[in-house]
Amino acid sequence: MSAALLGALLGLSLAAAPPPSFGALQVEAAEVQARAGAAPLALGEVLDGVLDRHPRMDAARAEIEVAEGMAMAARGHFDTKWKTGGYLQPLGYYVHGRLDTHVEQATPLWGARFLAGYRLGQGNFQDYYGYYETLSAGELRAGVLVPLWRDGPIDSGRAGIKKADIDRELALLDRDKETIKLVKETTYRYWEWVAAGLRRDVAEEQLELASARDAQLQSQAARGAIPPIDATDNKRALLKREAAAVKYRQELEQAAIALSLFFRDGDGDPIRPAGDRLPAVLPLDERALSAGADALLREALERRPELQALLLKRAQVAIDRRLARNQRAPAIDVGAMVLRDFGRGPAQLAPTELQTSVTIEIPLQARKARGKRKAAEAKATALDAHARLLRDTIAAEVEQALVAVLAAHERAEVARKAVAVARELADAERRRFDLGATTLLFVNIREQQVAEAALDEIDARLAYQKALAELAATTAATLRDLEGPPAAPEQARNRP
């Protein structure tokens, strides 16, 4: 699809014709650029500013940073925790003080938690608080606690990290989705601006024809060579064409304003494109018709961020379901700790100690875990249904977009032929008018038919470019995916 679509997007030049040319459809790009003294504004230049500096892209990138921050926060589950506490009883029969400090580290290794600490207890303790007492230099301890079943293969912390990582991927997909939308909208506004410029050119060149003829007819009427009514009728046509030119100039300004929302400078501020940067052509390239529906559908299913997002959400639900299933299991935690006192004091505190433990906790109803598992399974079913519908929708959208491209291209070809026929008739009618074989009314009608045909061709080419943009959006292709050699210029269509 890359080579095929690029030719249509990056385009071809239309033919030059001697004046009157009825709009930029007949003017070579080189002539227009030389006359304007400025390089035509390319779609790629507009898109570069959109993707780099448009506020919607800034917002999408900010959402990625939000997701990255939440992923960092989720990893806080494994932060090293240091806890210190002290207690002093300076008055009373049992005067004593104690200090306890320890560091605890949770790990992703089957949920194991490691602990290392120091404890000091000096003074007189009640018999039932004798375990607070240590030798004079205190006690060092280190241990580990391992969950054998619940929280072993997965726990809320590890599940949260995995889901947060997926959230970041979802934020990236949201950015991609926004990119596709912006590229499509920008492409629409760009070609609408180009089409508005071409329509203005058609109207102004119609006006130039009537203006040039008006001076000639006024002179002939003054000499009595023609009835004054002919000069008056041409004046009417002149005013009508002047009104049309004003209308199309206004539409061009409005199109430029609309494009400025997407055309941004280095600071991200809107730029209203100047009229002298209008391209001379609306491209039409048959190579864009070579892409097959099956290949386009495969690319769409691989690239569309909406479908990828559903798959990632399905993965999140699978994590929830796995966690809920694990939380229904009994908690069986085993632990071991080594303790050693240092310094002077009671002899019974001097030996190294080894403590082991087993803790069992069984949720009898397990309603919390069962409820979460049920909810996760229902979410998975819903996401699967949405994914099936989305695949069907994507297939339909690809087919519709391809049909629109083919139809728009065919319409543009018919419109091009209609312009050639209308131009031939108008030239013949002008020659007959010069010979006195027809009236000004028929000349005006023929010239109006040329203008209408030219406007129809502009509309058809605009529809073709919009259809290409829709196809690119449907298949999640960006212009950078479509880079390739430019198309060859169309055969020049000179006036006979």
Residue 5 confidence (pLDDT): 37
Q: Is the pLDDT of residue 429 over 90?
A: no
Distance of CA 170 to the CA centre of its chain: 12
Provide the token pair at 318.
């699978």
Residue 480 confidence (pLDDT): 42
Residue 56 confidence (pLDDT): 94
Mean pLDDT in residue range 375-394: 95
Alpha-carbon span 179 to 165, nearest angstrom: 21
466 against 493, higher pLDDT:
466
Residue 433 confidence (pLDDT): 80
Alpha-carbon span 243 to 307, nearest angstrom: 50
Residue written as tokens 């080419």? 461
pLDDT band (50, 70, 90) for residue 447? confident
Mean pLDDT of the residues in the chain: 85
Residue 34 confidence (pLDDT): 34
Mean pLDDT in residue range 168-179: 95
Residue 486 confidence (pLDDT): 36
Q: Is the pLDDT of residue 146 over 90?
A: yes
| DSSP letter for each residue of 170-227 | HHHHHHHHHHHHHHHHHHHHHHHHHHHHHHHHHHHHHHHHHHHHHHHHHHHHHHTSS-
The pLDDT tens digits of the residues spanning 327-382 come to 999 999 999 999 999 999 998 899 999 999 999 999 888 898 899 999 999 999 99
Residue 23 confidence (pLDDT): 33
Judged on CB neighbours under 10 Å (0-12, 13-18, 19+), 65 is exposed
Alpha-carbon span 381 to 53, nearest angstrom: 40
Residue 37 confidence (pLDDT): 53
The pLDDT tens digits of the residues spanning 487-496 come to 333 333 332 2
Mean pLDDT in residue range 425-448: 82
Q: Is the pLDDT of residue 319 over 50?
A: yes
Nearest to 264 by CA among 254, 273, 274: 273
Residue range 2-71+165-313+380-482 forms a domain whose CATH class is: mainly alpha
pLDDT band (50, 70, 90) for residue 419? very high
Least confident range from 20-24, 187-191, 330-334, 422-426: namely 20-24
Domain range annotation of the chain: 2-71+165-313+380-482, 81-158+327-372
Residue 317 confidence (pLDDT): 96
Residue 478 confidence (pLDDT): 59
Residue 215 confidence (pLDDT): 77
143 against 32, higher pLDDT:
143
Q: Is the pLDDT of residue 59 over 90?
A: yes
Provide the token pair at 40.
């035509």
Does the global pTM surpass 0.85? no
Tell me the percentage of the chain whose pLDDT exceeds 90: 64
Q: How far is CA 298 from CA 294, 450, 480, in A?
A: 6, 43, 19
Residue 6 confidence (pLDDT): 33
The pLDDT tens digits of the residues spanning 80-108 come to 999 999 999 999 899 999 999 999 999 99
User: Which one-letter amino acid corresponds to residue 41?
Assistant: L
What is the helix, strand, coil percentage profile of the chain, to 5? 65, 15, 25
SS3 assignment, position 266: coil
The interaxial angle of helices 156-223 and 55-74, nearest 10 deg, is 180
Beta strands in 274-422 (DSSP E): 331-342, 353-361
Alpha-carbon span 139 to 117, nearest angstrom: 8
The pLDDT tens digits of the residues spanning 245-287 come to 999 999 999 999 999 999 998 888 999 999 999 998 888 876 6
The pLDDT tens digits of the residues spanning 194-226 come to 999 999 999 998 898 888 887 777 777 777 767
125 against 142, higher pLDDT:
142
